[in-house]
Structure formats: structure tokens, C-alpha cells
Amino acid sequence: MAQSRSDADRLFIAGAGIGGLTTALALSRRARPVTVFEQAATIEPVGSGLQLSPNAMHVLRGLGLEEALRRHAVAPRAVRVMSARTGNAIAEIPLGEHAEQRYGAPYLVIHRADLHSVLLNAARASAGITLRLGTRLRDASQNAGAVKVELEQAATDGGAAHVDHGSGAGLIGADGVWSTVRRRVMNLRQAVFSGRTAYRAVIPAEDVPQHWRDVTGLWLGANAHVVHYPVSGGRQFNLVALVSEDWREERWSAPADREALLARFADWPAACRDLLARPPSWLKWALCGMDPGTDWVDGRVALMGDAAHAMLPFAAQGAGMSIEDGEALARAIDRIPDVPRALRSYQAERQNRAEKVLRLARANDRVYHMRGPMALARDAVMRGLPAGRLLARLDWLYGWRPPAAG
Ligand SMILES: Cc1cc2nc3c(=O)[nH]c(=O)nc-3n(C[C@H](O)[C@H](O)[C@H](O)COP(=O)(O)OP(=O)(O)OC[C@H]3O[C@@H](n4cnc5c(N)ncnc54)[C@H](O)[C@@H]3O)c2cc1C
């Protein structure tokens, strides 16, 4: 890797996922040169749905991406909470216009591939961002003045991979739940399997009854819950069934046994079983989490997003927290010229909030999967609360906005 004058300032980001690209865009808007290494040689449209709550949308709006995102996303009217015991609605939590007015930004649901392509197109159009696909960060080291990275560049002709080195001002580990920066560079404990598995499918929206197409559905049952919502501008429908299952594999798209999944939900209400029976095939994904309290920063190296605080998706904030992290990182680096101090300031700003969300996701895991009298009590409490109050309990989460947005 050739060394130029600006390389002394250059920041490296490992991982062109949601958090890595957000960070790169936020840094490039502050005229900071950045190189992003992504191990995947091509960006495939993988994954399924993600929720983009107003806190994340404030950041993406600040990056000029709201219009592009709205073309792909849907703003669900409400979250309809359903009992898997009775098949009846327990509560309807207003989103749509209500959430937008309350928080000043929309609550959207979107296919991960659409969010990723909006970020990627913006990154490709930014002169300050160098994107190196097919380039895996293998290791890194640092001294008082610089960080050195060791990279593995996949050969385009199928030959042996090429090893390359580079030197810059800092390294951001945005390399996701199975982070190399976390494990190898910072020598921290990796995320652990949670004993929960998510089954995911995306089907044409026209295959789904009309009354489900403008809301997020949340079915609560013993040891399992189901979430569904429209994606791809309302043309597709995302289904996720989350179960207690101790299956472990480090990949996003393992094929799942459809019949075994349907058997597992055999005693659920017909309306939910009917939805689960629609997809001809399912993928599954073993869910991981991390314990709060570890450092995210070591000198010129920092973790962000899932690499810092991988969490169960039960607060629907994995993407949201990595987007918030990206904005905070860029702001700290812009404000504080000394990179190690800037990274410490980023951690001080972010850690409590991200770990509070991580704990919320764990609490939701217990509450969503309650059984017997506990489940009855939960349903009674939710039924008794005015719908607006259920949303207001999350004001601290959705009401966040970056300081620059005022
Ligand atoms: C392929 C994929 C599909 C997903 N599908 C869903 C989904 O359907 N629903 C959902 O809620 N969440 C999904 N997620 C997770 C969700 O995107 C993240 O939890 C969230 O966005 C946090 O983002 P992140 O930037 O921290 O990590 P991620 O978005 O996971 O990005 C990490 C990136 O780092 C790259 N990487 C990893 N190691 C290295 C390395 N050593 N060198 C260079 N690059 C590296 C990965 O290839 C990946 O692109 C998916 C993630 C991935 C990678």
C-alpha cells in the first residue's frame, strides 16, 4: 500500500456493513480520509428485514439518505401485539404519523439489502472514501503514532490470496458479531451463542392478508415469538420466528428445516400458522450476545456496532446502535485531534446507552417468552395501559438524536 502525506490522517475501518459504512460516510462529510476493508468480494443482497427507529433515522437524515431510504422502506402504522395463546390482539402501539411527530423522524422497516445498498451507493459516490472489497483484515498492531494493518486480498483469478500492509491514524472494528478486531487485535472475549435461533423468510406481500401489510405484527408465546412486517416499499413481507434452540453456527444464511419449524408452532393460532406456512423455504441464524462492561477502545483501535455490543435482536436495535455509534465516532474524531483521546471520548459517550439497550433486549427476551401465569399477567398489564404509554416507555431510546441535529 503506497504511503502518501494524507495517509498519516487516514482512518481504517474493518467491515463495510451497516455500521462501517455509516462511520465512513460521517467521517467523509467531515473531510477525513478513510479506507474501508470488506472481506466479501461482492456485496450480495443477503439478509432480511431490519427496523430503523427514529433515533437511527436522525443520523441517516443527517447523511442525506432519508429520501433514498424512504423509496425502499415502509412506515408501519402500528405494532400489533398478539397473544399466541388466544390468537387475540393484546395491544396496538401507534407508530406511523404518531411516531414521526413524537420523535421528529419516521419509524421505518426495510430490507437489510436495501439499507446496505443505499449506504454503499453513497460511499461509492464520496471522494474521501476508499472502499476495498475482497480485503480481509487479518491483524493489526500499533505504536504511539500509528496503527499498522495486515490485510488479505482475495485473488480475482482464483489464485493465492495476496497479503498487504498499511499504516494509518486509527482502526475502527466494524466487523460485526464475529469480529477479528475484537478477538485478535484487542484480545477480548468473543460474542457467545445465546441459545436462541431466528428463522427468517421474505415472501411477496400479495401472499399475505391485507390487514397485516401496514403493521408490524408481534406474536408472544411460550419460549417463542414471531415478528413480521412489510419491506421493499411494501412489495415484500418479512417473517421472523424466534425460538429457544441451542444451535450454533457462525453464518447468516443457513438453510432451515421448514417442516420442523411448522411442527414447533403446531399449537399456535391458525392466523399465525397460516403466515408461517406461506414461505416455501426458511433460513436460520444463531443469535449471539455479549456481556456489557468490556472496553471498546485500546489506544488507536476502537470497536463499534455488533463488534462492540452484539445484542439479541429483541429490541430491534442492532442496526440502530451501530448507526448511532458511527455518528458519535465521526463527531469525536472531528472534535478531538488526538485519535486515542477521540476514541475514548466516543466510548464514554456511547457505552452506557448501548449497554442499556443490550439489557432491554435481554429483558424483552424474558418478557416475550413468558409462559403460564406470568404470561397472563404480562398480557393484562399491556391490555390495561393506554396504547400511547407503551410507546412513551421507549422515549429514552427512540427520542435520541445526534447533538448536531439540535
Ligand atoms: C450478511 C449479513 C446479513 C444480515 N442479515 C440481517 C437480517 O436479516 N436482519 C437483521 O436484523 N440483521 C442482520 N444482520 C445483522 C445486522 O446487519 C447487524 O446486526 C447490524 O446492522 C449491526 O451492524 P454492524 O455494522 O455492526 O455489523 P454488520 O452489518 O454485521 O457488518 C459487519 C461487516 O464486517 C465484515 N467483516 C467481518 N470480518 C471482517 C474482516 N476481518 N475484515 C473485513 N471485513 C470483515 C462482514 O463481512 C460484514 O460486511 C446481517 C449481517 C450480515 C453481515
pLDDT, tens digit, 9 for 90 and up, residues 116-150: 999 999 999 999 999 999 999 999 999 999 999 99
The grid cell for 85 is 395463546
Which residue's C-alpha comes closest to atom 4 of ligand 1? 47
Determine phi and psi for 117, rounding to 5 degrees: -70, -30
- Whether residue 316 is found in the same domain as residue 377: no
The grid cell for 15 is 467491515
Q: Is 53 within the bounds of a domain?
A: no
- Whether residue 245 is found in the same domain as residue 303: no
Point out the ligand 1 atom lying closest to the alpha carbon of residue 20.
25
Q: Is 55 within the bounds of a domain?
A: no
- Whether residue 167 is found in the same domain as residue 281: no
> Ligand 1 in contact with 16 (CB < 6 A)?
yes
Q: What is the DSSP letter of 85?
A: T
Q: Is 403 within the bounds of a domain?
A: no
Q: How many CA atoms lie within 13 A of 405 on its CB side?
A: 21
> Ligand 1 in contact with 119 (CB < 6 A)?
no
Which residue's C-alpha comes closest to atom 22 of ligand 1? 319
CA 136/CA 107 separation, integer angstroms: 34
Q: How many domains does the chain have?
A: 2
Which residue's C-alpha comes closest to atom 53 of ligand 1? 17
- Whether residue 39 is found in the same domain as residue 159: yes
Give the pairing type, strands 236-244 and 297-298: unpaired
**pLDDT band at residue 46 under the 50/70/90 scheme:** confident
Backbone dihedral region for residue 107 (phi beyond 0: left; psi -120 to 50: alpha; all else: beta): beta
Q: What is the CATH number of the domain that holds 338?
A: 3.50.50.60
**Ligand 1 centroid distance, CA of 331 (Å):** 23
**pLDDT tens digit sequence for 271-321:** 999 999 999 999 999 888 888 888 999 999 999 999 999 998 889 999 999
**pLDDT band at residue 6 under the 50/70/90 scheme:** low
**Ligand 1 centroid distance, CA of 307 (Å):** 9
Point out the ligand 1 atom lying closest to the alpha carbon of residue 138.
41
**pLDDT band at residue 4 under the 50/70/90 scheme:** very low
What confidence score (pLDDT) does residue 387 get?
79
Name every residue whose Cβ is closer than 8 Å to that of residue 313 and which is 6 or more positions away in sequence. Answer: 198, 240, 242, 287, 361
- Whether residue 176 is found in the same domain as residue 137: yes
Q: Is 75 within the bounds of a domain?
A: yes
Please say if the pLDDT value at position 229 is more than 80: yes
**Ligand 1 centroid distance, CA of 129 (Å):** 19
**pLDDT tens digit sequence for 333-358:** 999 999 999 999 999 999 999 999 99
- Higher-scoring residue by pLDDT: 252, 330: 330
The grid cell for 40 is 466479501
The grid cell for 367 is 418478557
Which residue blocks in 125-257 are alpha helix, DSSP H? 180
> Ligand 1 in contact with 51 (CB < 6 A)?
no
Q: Which residues pair with 284 in a beta bridge?
A: 199, 254
CA 330/CA 27 separation, integer angstroms: 5
- Whether residue 229 is found in the same domain as residue 201: yes
> Ligand 1 in contact with 138 (CB < 6 A)?
no
> Ligand 1 in contact with 17 (CB < 6 A)?
yes
Angle between helical axes of 18-28 and 112-124 (0-180°, round to 10): 30
CA 141/CA 22 separation, integer angstroms: 24
- Whether residue 152 is found in the same domain as residue 175: yes
Give me the amino acid identity at 381.
Answer: V
- Whether residue 67 is found in the same domain as residue 126: no
Query: What positions carry a catalytic annotation?
Result: 229
Per the structure, the complete domain to which residue 93 belongs is given by 63-111+192-289+365-398
> Ligand 1 in contact with 40 (CB < 6 A)?
yes
> Ligand 1 in contact with 43 (CB < 6 A)?
no
> Ligand 1 in contact with 151 (CB < 6 A)?
no
> Ligand 1 in contact with 322 (CB < 6 A)?
yes
> Ligand 1 in contact with 305 (CB < 6 A)?
yes
- Whether residue 327 is found in the same domain as residue 202: no
- Whether residue 143 is found in the same domain as residue 38: yes
Name every residue whose Cβ is closer than 8 Å to that of residue 325 and which is 6 or more positions away in sequence. Answer: 19, 22, 23, 304, 305, 308, 346, 350, 354
Q: What is the CATH number of the domain that holds 369?
A: 3.30.9.30
Sign of CA dihedral 278, 228, 384, 373: positive
Percent of all residues in the chain with a pLDDT value above 90, rounded to a whole number: 80
**Ligand 1 centroid distance, CA of 373 (Å):** 38
**Ligand 1 centroid distance, CA of 18 (Å):** 7
CA 342/CA 297 separation, integer angstroms: 10
Q: Is 233 within the bounds of a domain?
A: yes
Point out the ligand 1 atom lying closest to the alpha carbon of residue 180.
41
Q: Is 236 within the bounds of a domain?
A: yes
CA 57/CA 94 separation, integer angstroms: 18
Give me the amino acid identity at 243.
Answer: V
**Ligand 1 centroid distance, CA of 40 (Å):** 11
**Ligand 1 centroid distance, CA of 207 (Å):** 29
- Whether residue 327 is found in the same domain as residue 196: no
Sign of CA dihedral 174, 106, 242, 264: negative
- Whether residue 279 is found in the same domain as residue 308: no
**pLDDT band at residue 159 under the 50/70/90 scheme:** confident
Which residue's C-alpha comes closest to atom 39 of ligand 1? 175
Q: Is 406 within the bounds of a domain?
A: no
Q: Is 57 within the bounds of a domain?
A: no
